[in-house]
Amino acid sequence: MKFVEYGNPEGKTVIYFHGAPGSPQECSVFDSYAKENNLNVVCYDRFAINSSIKNQTYYQKLASIIIDKANDNQVDLIGFSIGCHAAIETSLYLQGRVRNIHLISSAAPLDAEDFLDGMAGKMVFLMAIKHPTMFTLLSYWQALLANLLPSILFKMLFSSAAGKDKELSKTKEFRRYATPLLTHCFNINVKGYIREINQYVTPWKESVLKCNTSTHLWHGTNDNWSPITMANYFKTTVPAYTSLETMQGLSHYTCLYAAAPQICRQLAKA
């Protein structure tokens, strides 16, 4: 299975679950910090997995791939945004092999509380729930934009940016970082993206109640893609030890940028 590695190839193994939309290169923000802290951050191209593999079979496959990579050693998991869902589900098939789970800008199960009204992606998620065919058509339209007019797709998706993300999205550096993530996700792996969203909007709060791994939450107070209420939900619901670091004024990607060095320092000591 395709994957990318950042940091030190001989360092402690950390598995990163990218967001949706997103791609493995998303975790490049960890590279320099991972090198400083002797970590090997690995991110698999989840959307490239055959789209016919769904539900728990999908997470079982991810777990088996991680087990092979870890070579009987324990690993740490990092999830970003909707990737937090995949990280939690996969961890349930890695019993005894995961030291810690770090969730950044965590997207909580929609069946747990009434989160949708506070989410910028409300209409997309409602479409996936109530009108899946329309959601599929929307995703293929976004794939067409990713191929022909990626800058337009970027502007559309980040038009709802809030907090510090609004400033970040206007920088050339972030555009150079984020645009290839969107192109890779929609243009190349749109079927995998569709599967990821469909599974996210399917009830999964019971999986949170089964999470028995120490969990650390990193969340921006101004996040309107994954509202802070989602982090509060995880903090009070995950049965294992759970910490929450609220990051004032930050939103979705600015939280990822700010959390990366702190997480690497914590993992080096774990």
When pLDDT is averaged across residues 57-84 and rounded to a whole number, the result is 96
* Each residue's pLDDT tens digit, 96-113: 899 999 999 999 999 999
pLDDT at 217 over 90: yes
pLDDT > 90? residue 95: no
pLDDT at 229: 98
Model pLDDT for residues 164-204, shown as the tens digit of each residue: 999 999 999 999 999 999 999 998 899 999 999 999 999 99
DSSP codes, the chain: --EEEEE-TTSEEEEEE--SS--GGGGGGGHHHHHHTTEEEEEE-GGGS-TT--HHHHHHHHHHHHHHHHTT--EEEEEETTHHHHHHHHHTTSTTTEEEEEEESPPPPTTTS--GGG-TTHHHHHHHHH-HHHHHHHHHHHHHHHHH-HHHHHHHHGGG--THHHHHTTSHHHHHHHHHHHIIIIIIHHHHHHHHHHHHHS--HHHHHT--SEEEEEEETT-SSS-HHHHHHHHHH-SS-EEEEEETT--HHHHHHHHHHHHHHHHHH-
pLDDT tens, position by position, 114-130: 999 999 999 999 999 99
Predicted local distance difference test score (pLDDT) of residue 77: 98
Per the prediction, the chain carries an average pLDDT of 96
Is the pLDDT score of 1 beyond 90?
A: no
What domains lie within the chain, and their CATH numbers? 3-269 (3.40.50.1820)
Q: Which residue has the higher pLDDT, 95 or 23?
A: 23
Q: Quick one: pLDDT at residue 71?
A: 87
Q: What is the pTM of this model?
A: 0.97
User: Is the model's pLDDT at 93 over the cut of 90?
Assistant: yes
Confidence check: pLDDT of 86 > 90: yes
Calculate what percentage of the chain has a pLDDT beyond 70.
Answer: 100
Interval 132-168: pLDDT, tens: 999 999 999 999 999 999 999 999 999 999 999 999 9
